[in-house]
Structure 1
Amino acid sequence: MKKTVAQITALTMAAAMALTACGTGGKGTENGGAADSSQTADSDKNAIKDLVTYEAPNREQEGFFILNTEKANDLNVLCNLYAPLLEVDENGKLRPAVAKEWGTEDGGLTWTFKLRDDVKWVDINGNVKADCTAQDWITAMEWVLNFHKNGSQNTSMPLALIKGAQDYYNYTKSLPEAEAKALDTSKMLEMVGIEAPDDYTLVYHCAVNAPYFDTVCTSACMYPVSQALIDELGVDNVNGMTNETMWYTGPYFETTFTMNNEKILTRNENYYDKDAKLFDTVTVRMVDGTQLYQLWQNGELDNIALAEADLRTIYNDDNNQWKPYLSETRPKKFSYQMHFNFDKRKEDGTPDENWNKAVANEAFRLSWYYGLNLTNYWSRTNFIEPLHCENVAYTMKGLLYFSDGTDYTERVEEKLGLPASDGTNPRRYDAAKSAEYKKQAMEELSAKGVTFPVQVDYYIIAGDQNALDKATVLKQTFAEGLGEDFVNLNIKTFVSSQSKEVVQPALGSFYINGWGADYGDPANFIDQERYGYDAAYYSNNYSRINNATDEDLIASYKEFSALAEAAGAIYDDTDKRYEAYADAEVYLLQHAFTIPMEYEVQWQLTKINDYSKMNAMYGAQNYTYKNWQTSVDAYTTEQYKEFQSAGKAK
């Protein structure tokens, strides 16, 4: 996410823009959104009271302070513990939350939010600690923009959108650490366009017209924190708060957190939305994918995504009791990509020169881009319809639309010259092109002293058989598509934290990560890859492009970044802005700085109606366990088709 950011963003969004509603003001009811009308009294009688669900072992929660993380692992839990200004509904439309009314009267330059007066901060025992007021969003903004308090976490959107935010961030970054940490909100209020005329009115002044600013309110950077909590913990301890020391405003407490085992969320009786349909408890178990089907059969989980072997077992047996209950999940909001590490290190901390030279070579990367037929890899997720998982763009489909209704990703695909999907063959795969680039890469790199096969280190969590099986398929895909004379994929493992054990010491040759939009604009995707931009999440944490030394690589990255920055400066014509961003995205992909990998579309057995969940292609709220329609009995395939049809009709 970021670089000279005063010029980034804001535009007049087309009326057809997907999933963004209430663009100029959404006056709502006094509650934060009532349960779906389809959830009748009869269905409530059969509803689950204590939900038991799961998460993969490599997606364990690592942080409890929502302002200090951008990881889905954390946000998928934390969205249940904090109350936001606005929420999304099951169709991705904005609805009231702590802000009961909001709007802009000047085309997105100034946004005013009228807040509820009954939201309370409580500790893990349910003791009321403080009222939640507009001041808590001011305190939070100071924390986010203070470099020495929060690093660069969650800065990209405020820096791009809020007047004076970049100046305050630069100011704090220039200060000695102790001096910056001692700052209260007074200096920020002098410099930054945020104010609270009273305890329950919050006003943001944007740097440029931002009609989509309210979509940002569903993202982690726009959540509150109480100054009283900061005082209680001490500034140095805030980012390290735990479930036991944090304060809550959301629908649940995290009453139990057992690392790599399970977490239990318990209903918050002080939660403001008394009409919300909540579970008494939600238990999230960390489960290896190979164990899910057995746990389902034992009645220990209320939903499972099916691993390939289990799906085949059920699908191929007409007598299997669970075949009539198979359903395809809604696509999750994440676009998964392969992210190269341009500054890889060995385990002793020294540079992996052979890899770093190889990956800096464009022909080397393009041989991967065209040479990996990922059909078998996708089949590990969805063997029935593997091409439903095919991803050929960087930005997530369904997030943005041109004024004529064209999906932004379709325009990217058109510019890339990709054929329409035939439902059988991957659209990007081209063995002949890959072979040409491989030959070119081996000639150019041999001249630079690179030895072949290039060793490629790919990390998965230890002990997860499903992760190992999928990595093994990927290894086979590399061997078949690129040749073992060219590259050798080494499957390596970490114990519990990929971030701490692999990413921070820069041990991986590449990583496969999914990015979900924080708000409705292409900048939120494209800016993650920019060169020399403090808030570029992938550039700073994964690709480490700013540490690269190859002059040709750096020059190309700078050209891409210039295209992205120029696109961000267009705010008076949505179509023109999207067109410019599409050009930047195409450049990113044509130079294979990153490689789109997959969408997450699985098959499942479930007692949860996915079409009743919050569902948006942006923000951090889709895992909020609120107003879900559930059944103590598994939903059938036919019922799910009805849910899908009803969802499309809305």
Structure 2
Amino acid sequence: MKKSKFKLLSLILVLVLMLSACGSGGSKTTDTSDNGGNDVVNNEEPKTAKTIKDLVISKVQTRELETFNILYSQRAEDSENLTNLLDPLLEVDTYGELVPGIAEEWGTEDGGLTWTFKIRDGVKWVGMNGEEKAALTAEDFATGLEWILNFHKNDSSNTSMPIEMIKGAEEYYEWTKTLSAEEAKALTAEAGSKFREIVGLEIDGNKLVYKCITEKPYFDTVATYNCLYPLSQQMVDELGGADNVRSMNNENMWYSGAYTMTQYIQGNEKVFTKNPLYWDKAASLFDTITIKMVESLDVAYQLYQSGEIDYVQLTESQVNTISKDKNHQFYNYLVPDVLSKYSFQIHFNFNKNKEDGTPDTNWNTAIANKAFRQTWYYGLNLENYYKRQNPLDPYIGENNFYTMKGLVYTSDGTEYTELVRQEMGLPELNGKKMVRLDEAKTAALKKQAMEELTALGVTFPVEIDHYIAAGNQTVLDTANVLKQIFSESLGDDFVKFNIKTYVSSIRKEVVQPHLHSIAINGWGADYGDPQNYLGQETYGNDNAYYSANYSYINDITEETEANKELLAAYKEFTKLVEAADAITTDLDARYKAYAKAEAYMLENAFVVPAMYQQMVALAKYDNTSKMNAMFGIQNEKFKNIRTNSDGYTTEEAAALQDAHNAGKK
């Protein structure tokens, strides 16, 4: 958020937060005026703040982690926990710039064709209680990459990046597919192994050398992500093999991060404890971090009110109640979180089933029609949806693109999504109305879609099945807002929005059986390049996350005229992405080519941009002191965090943001 915008929001108490929550109570505090700069910046003499030593936060139960194996996970719900327990080659600072992690030095001497990382001495693997297990060495990164590329160990999870970038990665991945599960699971990455023979990774003492397929000037940003994390072969042996590593838990896993997880009660509570052998001795860490799993944000707010947690994300009704009452205890304490790195989209399912398992022909035919999809892009007025996260300044969440803003910039400082806007011919944002809305165009597209689809046997209104977690009032209220938006924007004669529920896992209960019409998901970049966004939507690629797991476009055949048009467009988009990815030595040309591909995707409405996520919060830690990048999995790492157990006021948070902005390089 720019400085001028932040000041404006501060004055009207319009501030924001994403989907994680925290708070204080039971927290041990210490009177101090140092330890990471806990002084409030207000252009006056700094006052002494009470530093929180034992942080307590909350997360809604739908954000429970599903695996302790960071190499296998592709979910933010997992990584936001595991990033505190395991460390990567590189980290990021509060401005999103790369800084040393387990690698103390890194670089390329040939434009990104070869990358060298020097592993620091003294990094230890530890057990749950902080006992030393082994030294972490360069060999552990080879073991980790072998695991990623071994189909029988890791399925296809996190393979897309190494396959796209590292020499021999795809060959090794495909080779492991030809083996039996038993043979593949017995493989290692030790010197002389098939992995070391095929894959472009060399180890010279404490140096890792990755050999890329072509110049990859952004490869070092991948060093923050799961696919290049280390794994100890000694741990694999201790646990008894690959199957047990896949199912490991907090009690038997090995840790290399700032904390270990000393308590885990699924769906209830987690406790992180400071790692006594952590390599970064200069880091300021909490003694413990307790994560309370709650049913809803309403419950989290109650816990904050009672002093039991240190951070809370506020709902629309809570923000309205607080901001309109000058006598409210939290009136002066509304503070912003950093902008979430996730760009949220409405994703279509092109191969939907009914609940009885038979194809939903009416939906599948309708969604294959370009005009039908375009009515959503140009017709849905999402203002009330934006208000769900920030009722006082809803357009702070306006999103018209696929790639997250702020991911990359051209050499003259132009932000990438601005290139997409120019390519599409959209007006500039004005903060008052969605710039892509076009009533006349929507009416014409609606008429065209109804005529074309009626001729194909589609009946109207076309039913949209949208699934939410059962028993969660907050998400139900949001779903009802969406239902009203569809009714008012597109008309009840055109679509009917059905709100349906799942019990515990949307993945298992809804997405895998293809029951959803749409899924509203946020994608955050794994590394700093548009390929990581657009590559998730390409056709015919098993490693394209959304194509393979949500839209199911890869399952579509050319049996109908509508499908032929849809597939032809997807294939053209895929060619555009591949052409952009082939440009490796001129980043300005690369970004321009990606912008052309993204504009084509949006003009065909393969997805519909939904929002950027910024909400209103009450906080006892300062978000400007957190790691903050538009790629990687580091943003939820609790390291070097500034705290104040009294809570930050709006004025104090604004001053901290001003100071942070002033320090940006």
Give TM-score, length-normalised by structure 2. 0.90
Task: Give the Å deviation of 1:203.
Answer: 1.4
Which deviations, in whole Å up to 9, do the C-alpha atoms of 1:376-403 show, x marking residues without a partner?
0010000111000000111011111111
1:211 to 212, 217, 220: 217
Q: Is the 8 A contact 2:217 2:584 kept in 1?
A: no
3-state DSSP class of the match of 1:338?
Answer: strand
Give structure 1 stretches of 5+ with no counterpart. Answer: 1-34
What is the correspondence of 1:207-356 to structure 2 with a 5 Å cutoff?
207-233=213-239, 234-287=241-294, 288-356=296-364
Deviation of residue 451 (structure 1)? 1.8
2:368 to 338, 357, 360: 360
CA deviation after TM superposition for structure 1 residue 535, in Å: 1.4
- What SS does the aligned partner of 2:246 have? coil
Distance 1:43 1:192 in 2: 56
Q: Which moved more, 1:48-57 or 1:587-596?
A: 48-57
Distance 2:370 2:127 in 1: 53
- The residue identity in structure 1 corresponding to 2:37 is S
1:525-564 per-position Cα deviation (integer Å, ceiling 9, x unaligned): 1100000112111111111110113222111111100100
Contact 1:58/1:498 (CA < 8 Å) preserved in 2? no
Number of the residue aligned with 1:26: none
Distance in 2 of aligned mates of 1:349 and 1:230: 40
How far has the Cα of 1:44 moved from its partner?
8.5
Whole-angstrom distance in 1 between the partners of 2:70 and 2:418: 33
For residues 73 and 163 of structure 2, the distance between their equivalents in structure 1, rounded to whole angstroms, comes to 16
Cα deviations across residues 121-154 of structure 1 (Å, max 9, x unaligned)?
1222323222111111001111111122112211
Structure 1 contact 57–464 (Cα < 8 Å) conserved: no
**Between 593-602 and 293-302, the greater mean CA deviation after superposition:** 293-302
| Alpha-carbon offset, residue 238 of structure 1 | 2.0
Match of 2:31 in 1: none
Name the aligned partner's letter for residue 237 of structure 1.
N
Matched, 1:202 2:188: no
1:647 equivalent to 2:660? Answer yes
Question: 1:243 is matched by which residue type in structure 2?
Answer: N
Report if the CA contact (8 A) 1:260-1:496 is conserved: no
In the TM superposition, what is the alpha-carbon distance from 1:95 to its structure 2 partner?
Answer: 1.2
Deviation per residue, 1:211-241 (Å, 9 max, x gap)? 2211111111111111122223321232222
Letter in 2 for 1:357: T
CA distance in 2, matches of 1:120, 1:87: 17
Matched, 1:77 2:85: no
1:57 and 1:421 map into 2 onto residues whose CA distance is 35
CA–CA separation in structure 2 for the residues paired with 1:227 and 1:346: 45
Task: Say whether the 8 Å CA contact 1:57–1:461 is kept in structure 2.
Answer: no
Question: 1:16 matched to which residue of 2?
Answer: none
The corresponding residue for 1:375 is 383
Q: Does 1:392 align with 2:407?
A: no
**Whole-Å separation in 1 of the counterparts to 2:423 and 2:154:** 38
Aligned to 2:196: 189
Deviates more, 1:157-166 or 1:607-616: 157-166
Correspondence for 1:602 = 615
Match for residue 592 of structure 2? 579
Q: Greater CA deviation, 184-193 or 305-314?
A: 184-193
Q: Secondary structure of the residue that 2:498 maps to in structure 1? A: strand
Q: CA deviation at 1:170?
A: 2.0
Deviation at residue 43 of structure 1 after TM alignment:
8.0
Q: Deviations over 1:290-339 (max 9, x none)?
A: 22322221112211111000000011112212111112322111111111
Match of 2:484 in 1: 476
Distance 1:426 1:476 in 2: 17
SS of the residue 2:550 aligns to: helix
Q: For residue 123 of structure 2, what is the aligned residue in structure 1?
A: 119
Q: Answer whether contact 1:357 1:450 (CA < 8 A) is retained.
A: yes
Q: Compared with structure 1, are the counterparts of its residues 259 and 434 closer, same or farther at alpha carbon in structure 2 (3 Å cutoff)?
A: farther
Q: Would the aligned equivalents of 1:336 and 1:597 in 2 still touch at CA under 8 Å?
A: yes
Q: Are positions 1:558 and 2:558 aligned together? A: no
Q: Indicate how the Cα distance of structure 1 residues 44 and 494 shifts in structure 2: closer, same or farther if over 3 A, else same.
A: farther
Given candidates 141, 148, 160, the residue that maps to 2:145 is 141
CA distance in 2, matches of 1:66, 1:394: 26
- 2:261 aligns to what SS in structure 1? strand
User: Which residue number in structure 1 is paired with residue 17 of structure 2?
Assistant: none
Give SS of 2:176's match: helix
**What SS class does the counterpart of residue 249 from structure 1 fall into?**
coil
- Contact persistence 1:134–1:201 (CA under 8 A): yes
Matched residues in 1 for 2:348 and 2:433: separation?
25
Distance (Å, rounded) in 2 between the aligned partners of 1:292 and 1:316: 21
- The answer for the alignment partner of 1:612 in structure 2 is 625
Aligned: 1:588 with 2:594: no
63, 70, 83: which one pairs with 1:66? 70
CA distance in 2: counterparts of 1:119 and 1:499, whole angstroms:
37
Aligned to 2:98: 94
With normalisation by structure 1, the TM-score equals 0.92
Secondary structure of the equivalent of 1:83? coil
Q: Distance in 2 between the 1:268 and 1:497 partners?
A: 32
Distance (whole Å) between structure 1 residues aligned to residue 523 and residue 548 of structure 2: 15
The alpha carbon displacement at 1:196 in A equals 1.4
Higher mean alpha-carbon deviation, 442-451 vs 504-513, is at: 442-451
Query: Which of the residues 455, 462, 466 maps onto 1:454?
Result: 462
Identify unmatched segments of 5+ residues in structure 2.
Answer: 1-33, 41-45, 558-562
Q: Secondary structure at the match of 1:248?
A: coil
Judge conservation of contact 2:36–2:640 (CA < 8 Å) in 1: no
In the other structure, the counterpart of 1:494 is 502
Q: Name segments (4+ residues, structure 1) moved above 4 Å.
A: 39-45
Residue matched to 2:23: none
Aligned residue identity for 2:208: L
Partner residue in 2 for 1:4: none
Give the whole-Å Cα distance in 2 for the aligned partners of 1:576 and 1:404: 12
- SS of match in other structure, 1:467: helix
Partner SS, residue 47 of structure 1: strand
Distance in 2 between residues matched to 1:328 and 1:555, nearest whole Å: 44
The separation in 2 between residues aligned to 1:98 and 1:418, in whole angstroms, is 44
Sequence identity percentage? 55
The Cα shift of 1:258 comes to: 2.3
